[in-house]
Amino acid sequence: MHGSAHIADIEAAAARLAPYATVTPVLESPALNARAGCRVLLKAELFQRTGSFKFRGAMNFLLQLPAEARARGVVAFSSGNHAQGVAAAASELGVAATIVMPKDAPAAKIAGTKAFGARILFYDRLREDREEIANAIVVQSGATLLRPFDDAAVLAGQGTVGLEFARQAANLGVTLDRVAVPCSGGGLVAGVGLGLRAAGTVAQVFAVEPQDFDGMGRSLRAGQRMAAPGGPMSVADALMAPMPGAIPFAVARHTVAGGLAVSDAELERAVAYAAQVLKLVVEPGGAAGLAALLAGKFGGGPIVGVVLSGGNCDPERLAACCTRWPEP
């Protein structure tokens, strides 16, 4: 863990990432607008390299890593999207990457990580501590730990989503009033709040988390970092950090208005709605903001933004969601 993130860091990250990251599209659906009763703009990070926003933070971190540290490689722990983001960014820069992944990570995410040439070490998420495993590799090899969210450079990279979103809305002649962002450890939602401010947009930003993994919402209400109970695994494998990171929470206290919790059923319905109505493949975690909107937990407006943070969904999961919700 190091540092804190500021508006200037988001702007610097955007310039740094310009040659590497995709400027993802902002999409709009008349059907969704009618359903929500307001104008909804969707920031489609599923079209980012590796299928999620995570590439941004990983690349921003690696681009600032000194050459001698790059030569020793990097280590990350992740259930999948951070793993792929780190693997792709490391591959792009010729840096060796080792990823500590749970054995039960979605097959699509394991395959994606392998495809970028990273070395994968599997662990049992019920019996083993992924941070202990990663730290042991760091001690043994001298590699640098690339954290999924509790790092200022990673947060600044993720924050470029907000900067881009605000500018794209301005190009459409509108200003975002409320923005829903999926949240796990908080790097994306805190960064998006900062990125919107970097663009001069003062929108209300909300963290959307799975029920019982709503650590950011609980922490914002309490005014200090709080752990959610955790409990049974969520269908949103990407959003299972029970407590926000220290750096994201410190930023979120100033940039995030509150937190919303969604059930597994609401997440599955959002995946089905994205596929059947929007014609988009969105993973359960990536669909958290959409889930809150469809469930009537998030609205207002008149201009609502929703970050679709990732699309790395196994075909079996997608089919199950669509079968369960034939008319989402």
Q: Say if residue 234 is in the same domain as residue 95.
A: no
275 domain-assigned:
yes
Residue-wise pLDDT tens digits, 226-263 = 999 997 889 998 898 999 999 999 999 999 999 999 99
Q: Say if residue 240 is in the same domain as residue 261.
A: yes
Q: Say if residue 105 is in the same domain as residue 221.
A: no
Please compute Rg for the chain using Cα positions: 18
Residue 79 has pLDDT above 90, yes or no: no
Q: Per-residue pLDDT averaged across 4-11, rounded?
A: 91
Which of 147, 120, 142, 143 has the alpha carbon at shortest distance from 131? 147
Confidence of residue 109 (pLDDT cuts 50, 70, 90): confident
Residue-wise pLDDT tens digits, 175-232 = 999 999 999 999 999 999 999 999 999 999 999 999 999 999 999 999 999 999 997 8
**pLDDT at residue 78, rounded to an integer:** 86
Q: Per-residue pLDDT averaged across 278-298, rounded?
A: 97
- Give the span between the Cα atoms of 39 and 173, in whole angstroms: 13
- Give the span between the Cα atoms of 57 and 247, in whole angstroms: 14
Q: Say if residue 254 is in the same domain as residue 135.
A: no
13 domain-assigned:
yes
Q: Say if residue 168 is in the same domain as residue 45.
A: yes
Single out the residue in 145, 171, 187 at which a domain terminates.
145
Confidence of residue 2 (pLDDT cuts 50, 70, 90): low
- Give the span between the Cα atoms of 173 and 217, in whole angstroms: 31
Q: Per-residue pLDDT averaged across 289-298, rounded?
A: 97
Q: Say if residue 65 is in the same domain as residue 85.
A: yes
Q: Say if residue 182 is in the same domain as residue 98.
A: no
2 domain-assigned:
no
Return the structure tokens found at 288.
């958290």
Quote the mean pLDDT of the chain.
Answer: 95
**pLDDT at residue 3, rounded to an integer:** 63
CATH number at residue 68: 3.40.50.1100
195 domain-assigned:
yes
Single out the residue in 86, 119, 145 at which a domain terminates.
145
The residue segments making up the domain with residue 128 are 55-145
Confidence of residue 1 (pLDDT cuts 50, 70, 90): very low
The pLDDT > 90 percentage for the chain reads 88
Single out the residue in 110, 128, 145 at which a domain terminates.
145
What domain count does the chain have? 2
Residue-wise pLDDT tens digits, 296-316 = 999 788 999 999 999 999 999
Q: Say if residue 208 is in the same domain as residue 233.
A: yes
Q: What angle do CA 107, 111, 112 make, to 5 degrees?
A: 115
Task: Give the global pTM.
Answer: 0.95
Residue-wise pLDDT tens digits, 126-165 = 899 989 999 999 999 999 999 999 999 999 999 999 999 9
1 domain-assigned:
no
Residue-wise pLDDT tens digits, 35-59 = 999 999 999 999 999 999 999 999 9
